[in-house]
Amino acid sequence: MSVLVLAHDSDRVADRVAAELAGRGVPVARLNPSSFPQQLSMQAQITRFGPWQGGLRSAGGEAIDLGRVHAVWQRRSSQFVMDEQMSGPERAFAYGEARRGLGGVQAALAGCLWVNDPMAAARAEYKPVQLAAATGVGLDIPDTLITSDPEAAHAWAVRLGGPVVYKPLSGVWHADEGEVKVIYTSPVDDPELLLDQRLALTAHLFQEQIAKEFEARLIVIGERVFAVRIDAGSDRSRADWRADYDALTYTVIEPPAEVTGKLVELHRRLGLVYGAVDMICEPSGRWVFLETNQGGEFGWLAEETGLPIPAAMADLLERGT
């Protein structure tokens, strides 16, 4: 049986885990799905007896037998590139067919562990789903409001009586007329700002601002949890540590077993076997869950701290359960 790693060509973290697997004698195939259909071909068939049978073949002749894949690790990859000789509508149609054809066959592989299952991963992208699941397992979360009503936002902030932050619901990266812009967590200094009628143009997420002793990223891999304390050394990184990586310092820590147990259960409920969790530890010692990123990065933390996270990922993929 073999492991299939789906990743961009320049993904060094995928390279490291693939090398770890190969060093153990585990057959591993690494490919970039965006090379389909121009440099990667596929053929798959199914009968009433099931399951899907077939394979992938690269332009260099390497063949991957889908029937022998017992684990798939899906990282980030670039988009499919369609033949430029097609018209715009033809390329759009072909792109959709490629995504549902190649992606659909891969997602339907029988008895295969996905890191993470595509359907569960898509559902977990919704922050309201995550927050509800977190409360369901007993994790503390910030008081949160999602609204398009300026009056409701203002009234909520006044009742809260403390500092408030705004967070984008769909991630930090956003396209803006040909440019890519980043929207980090932003403090709302005055509740009166929430009366801006432009809030009615879409949904917004507001949360109480949690007092920080420190922040932490916790990497959940199956039943294992690796935790790194992140201390911010600049104003920008104190508001959102992703805004200034150069100002950060990292320390390996052991969170309370109660917290790590709840995180494992949270991911089980979400149908995930991997997640990069962001939390805040208050000065009182209370741990507050912010979010889990089912595709979040861990490579730089492993390099900074020496934690054996790539080996743990290889363990999970090797087991296939």
Three-state DSSP state, 81:
coil
What's phi and psi for 316, nearest 5 deg? -65, -45
Q: Are residues 185 and 217 in the same domain?
A: no
**Residue matched to tokens 């999602």:** 146
Q: Are residues 56 and 81 in the same domain?
A: yes
pLDDT category at 243 given cuts 50, 70, 90 is: confident
Domain membership flag for residue 131: no
Give the count of beta carbons closer than 10 Å to the beta carbon of residue 103.
16
The DSSP 8-state label assigned to residue 125 in this structure reads T
Q: Are residues 15 and 82 in the same domain?
A: yes
Q: Do residues 42 and 56 touch, judged by C-beta distance below 8 A?
A: yes
| 175-195 tens-digit pLDDT | 555 666 677 788 898 889 899
Domain membership flag for residue 219: yes
Q: Are residues 310 and 271 in the same domain?
A: yes
Nearest to 245 by CA among 297, 174, 312: 297
Q: Are residues 234 and 204 in the same domain?
A: no
d(CA 62, CA 60): 6
In Å, the largest CA–CA distance within the chain is: 65
Domain membership flag for residue 125: no
CATH number at residue 181: 3.30.1490
> For the chain, how big is the Rg over CA atoms in Å?
22
- Kindly tell me if the per-residue pLDDT of 173 is higher than 90: no
CATH number at residue 105: 3.40.50
Q: Are residues 194 and 215 in the same domain?
A: no
Q: Are residues 193 and 230 in the same domain?
A: no
The pLDDT value recorded for residue 177 is: 58
Q: Are residues 219 and 172 in the same domain?
A: no
Domain membership flag for residue 121: no
d(CA 214, CA 286): 11
Domain limit, last residue, from 208, 231, 247: 208
Domain membership flag for residue 11: yes
Domain limit, last residue, from 208, 228, 253: 208
| 75-129 tens-digit pLDDT | 987 788 888 899 999 989 999 999 899 888 888 887 889 999 988 999 999 999 9
Domain membership flag for residue 128: no
**pTM for this entry:** 0.88
Q: Are residues 240 and 313 in the same domain?
A: yes
d(CA 298, CA 216): 12
Is the omega angle on the peptide bond into residue 51 within 30 degrees of 0, that is, cis? yes
Query: Which domain, by its residues, includes 109?
Result: 2-115
pLDDT category at 312 given cuts 50, 70, 90 is: very high
Number of domains in the chain: 3
CA distances to 35, 139, 152 from 79, rounded to whole Å, are 9, 36, 40
Domain membership flag for residue 127: no
